[in-house]
Amino acid sequence: MEKKQIAFTYELYTNSEELTPQDQNLLNQARRVTEQAYAPYSQFHVGAAALLANGELITGTNQENAAYPVTICAERVLLGIAAMLHPDTPIETLAISFSSEHRDAAHPISPCGMCRQALLEYEGRMQQPIRIILSGQSGQVYIIETAKQLLPFAFTSSELKD
């Protein structure tokens, strides 16, 4: 028997002023777009903003539904928009933020399991890592090098190839 370990490194910033101007801009877009989320049931407004390899910037927000499981997270809304509007253009960096009238939003949130799986597929499809910036409306910022790190032992398309 052998014991194995999986670990990854991420960057931690005290606040967004420590980021490069380009990353600050992207995070500010994610923070701002939370206002456009459709989240009448949770009042948890999530915003995602992506910088694409062609320099375009796109955004997405969570879209809830009275039949709760029908809800789509901001991250997967954004991936659908990216795939449709800019096919074959990799996502270089994705910023994710949130806001809520009822909760403190001064800490980062991290994508749910379903979005991690979707982000991993997009990376594989575009053959380029997606850098991820996580932060609330203020406070600490995490930067993760690739979506792959968020989903160790992932099930991928390689299993389905002949």
What does the binding site for ligand DUR look like in residue numbers (CB under 6 A)? 39, 42, 44, 46, 62, 64, 71, 73-75, 109, 111-112, 115
Per-residue contact string for residues 43-82; x = within reach of Zn ion by CB under 5 A: ------------------------------x---------
Query: Which of ligand DUR, Zn ion, none does residue 51 bind to, with CB < 5 to 8 Å depending on kind?
Result: none
Q: Which of 17, 35, 56, 75 is catalytic?
A: 75
Taking CB under 5 A as the rule, does residue 96 contact Zn ion? no
Residue sitting closest to Zn ion (CB)? 73
Contact 48, 95 (CB under 8 A): yes
| In the complex, least distance from residue 62 CB atom to Zn ion, rounded to whole angstroms | 8
- Using DSSP bridges, classify how beta strands 11-13 and 57-61 pair: parallel, antiparallel or unpaired: unpaired
Give the β-pairing of 11-13 and 141-144. Answer: antiparallel
State in angstroms the smallest separation of the CB of 111 from ligand DUR: 4
CB 44 → ligand DUR: shortest distance, Å? 4
CB within 8 Å of 155: residues ≥ 6 apart: 117
Q: Which is nearer to ligand DUR, 19 or 77 (CB)?
A: 77
Q: Which of residues 105-124 bind Zn ion (CB under 5 A)?
A: 112, 115
Residue appearing with tokens 């991250």: 75
CA dihedral 121, 149, 56, 98 (to 10 degrees): 100
**Residue 56 annotated to the active site:** no
Q: How far is the CB of 115 from ligand DUR (least distance, A)?
A: 6
Q: Does residue 30 touch Zn ion according to CB under 5 A? A: no
User: What does the binding site for Zn ion look like in residue numbers (CB under 5 A)?
Assistant: 73, 112, 115
Which positions are catalytic? 75
